[in-house]
Chain A
Amino acid sequence: MKVLEIKNLHKIYNTTQIRVHAVNGIDLDFEEGEFAAIVGPSGSGKTTLLNLIGGLDKPTEGEILVNGVNLSTLKSSEIIDFRLRNIGFVFQSYNLIPVLTAGENVEFIMGLQKWDRKKRDERTRELLKAVGLEERIHSRPSKLSGGQQQRVAVARALASKPQFVLADEPTANLDSKSTETLLEIMESLNREERITFIFSTHDARVVKKARRVITLEDGKILSDETRN
């Protein structure tokens, strides 16, 4: 089943000095349960593409369908709600709300969806356990290492059982040990919860773990390989 279809996607940034064609005619499909890496040199359009998929930015041309829903038909407040229910996000760093504990950060999304308390608590514990941070549930982000923070961010991204998780260079600020741990966690969640992960990276070791690797250059797809 297709969770995501991208058709003839373009994004042009018009600044006063230059015109940048950051995404230049991309067509892509993602099936449920994929574990896909987007790679490419700096400036190739990885972040732009992920932002467009997540509805954080609007395409200049083309369509994005999530579970058959065309994002461009939604109003901006509807897109936010759509993200809440269908898309998980992990950013490169400073993902977490500093005043909330690890547990509260994970719970936050479920709170926005008005889940009842018991269900929220259960799911929070389950997710923190899955990322190996059950005992840090009451810690504030400032008391966690960078790797631990990213693991909490992954747990939060999964909280509302989204269609897929978008992660823009989630390991860029991590050492190799933490990178490995995070990747393992993402992989096992991908397998166990059948959640689609789409992440961008520069890191060859991360690329190795991906089952599909999409390479971008100058906003275009250079190659798209699936391996087993």
Chain B
Amino acid sequence: MAWRNLWRNRRRTVITSASVLFAVVFALFFRSLQLGSYDYMFKSAIESYTGYIQIQHHDFWEERIVDNTFTIKPELNNRILQDENILATIPRFESFALASSGPQTKGVMVIGIDPEKENYLSEVENKLVRYRLTPEAVSRIKSDRTIPEKVGNLLDLYQGNSYTNSGRMQLDLGISDKDAGSLMPVIEKEARFENGHISMGMPGAWIGDKLSRYLEIGIGDTLVLIGQGYHATSAAGKYEIKGIVKQPAPDIDNKIVYLPLDVCQDLFNAPGNLTSLVLHVGDNSDRAVEETLNRMEPLISEPCRLIEWKEMNEVLVSQLDADNKSGMIMIGILYLVIAFGVFGTVLMMTAERRREFGVLVAIGMQKKKLASVVSLEMLYIGFLGILGGSFLAIPIILYGQTHPIVFKGTFAKMWEDFGFEPIMAFQGIDYYFLWQIFIVAIMVLIALMAPVRRILGMNVVNALKA
């Protein structure tokens, strides 16, 4: 009888299961987006800088001074590289210094890198600014009469912004792919920004976009760095600015200076020393990283030690944890809204059938039997909705996984101002999928209690009056 009811009263079935279906789709969609975005932030933080495993001086993490550095013998480096999961080792020398250019002075982070090896991980080269919307560039672009007013307004809004690729600039300026062909070449031409390379042995520097603005310096200008070197020696050097890099995190962008590794070691009077050696892994799953660590352990001896991504990104881990909590509240509110939707629909459907229930009990159907038939009906409907919702959500999420949401225009600027990359990624089908379905199923079960209670507590005489 339950099946027949569903089939025969299609309107009711469709409305109720649709409410469940939307509940499932919403829950899955938002959870996927939430988890995916955390994951993205996490991965991009780790992969853009620390990597998963590093070798450091035993004390460096606690006390980041030039004295807590180490040297690595080429034989050891080669043995490490023989490991199946280690694709490269990336040497670095990090320290702090005072940067000045003319009247401006600022504390900066100096990182000595091997520019080529960094391409494995932090890809500093890809972060070089390719386009800059300087006031001059903006006015030159706007003088071109083919530029629509809308784009002109956005140009004003984004004036001063730098871009590492034209795609992002196109998004910010709200230019569709269709118009890109005619508009972008003009903009690209006027906004183009040329960088030079830094290479071992050459006293050149790449500096952060925000830092360059603060110090009011550009390509070809000279940057003076003053700091403290190895064993309390004094460190000072002059470097020509070769390029401007744009780091997504604003508080890094405003204090980063890259030098070639050997140049940096010389600055701090510590030739051959490293503050860290990143062991760049191929497989970054928790298990693979753990196993790689275990294989490395016997190779590393005092004063060095292995340090893991969790320890290095402690702040991020706890920050994302906190974020996850507020995310939980968000999703909790979403569940509440969803639950009200499902509950409301079920209550409406129950109210609509009051007289029918009254007649059934009056002619001799036991309330318990009626309640179980109605429950079965609801379970079918819930099942239908959950099944449909999952099937609808799967392609959306799979699509979203390969096509993350990239914000455009003013909204993107807002995100960037908050220090986030204006991207929301989706998490692939995972355990959370079952959890969301489970939660919606619980909601259906709770919603089910409404008609059951109504039926068991029904006053037949009143029900018949309906």
Contact = CB atoms under 8 A, between A and B. Distances in A.
Contacts of A57: 460-461
A15 interface: no
Given A56-B464, A91-B464, A97-B356, A84 B364 contact: yes
A114 to B, nearest CB: 12
A89 to B, nearest CB: 5
A94 interface: yes
B367 A80 contact: yes
Interface in B413-456: none
A112 interface: yes
- Most-contacted residue by chain A among B356, B360, B361, B363 (CB, 10 A): B363
Interface in B343-359: 355-356, 359
Contacts, number: 57
A97 B464 contact: no
Given A95-B359, A99-B9, A56 B364 contact: no
Contacts of A89: 359, 362-363
A85 B461 contact: no
A77 interface: yes
Interface of B: 4-5, 8-9, 355-356, 359-369, 460-461, 464
B8 A99 contact: yes
A80 B361 CA distance: 7
A156 interface: yes
A109 B359 contact: no
Nearest to B463: A56
A112 B364 contact: yes
A81 B366 contact: yes
Contacts of B4: 99-100
A100 B365 CA distance: 15
A83 interface: yes
A98 B362 contact: no
Q: Which 7 A-B pairs have the closest CB atoms?
A: A84-B364, A99-B8, A83-B364, A56-B460, A57-B461, A99-B5, A99-B9
A51 interface: yes
Contact of B461 (A56, A81, A109): A56
A111 to B, nearest CB: 8
Contacts of B363: 83-84, 88-89, 108-109, 156-157
B461 A51 contact: yes
Contacts of B369: 112
B356 A109 contact: no
5 contacts: A56-B461, A81-B366, A84-B363, A89-B359, A89-B363
A219 interface: no
A113 B8 CA distance: 24
A109 B464 contact: no
A170 interface: no
B364 A97 contact: no
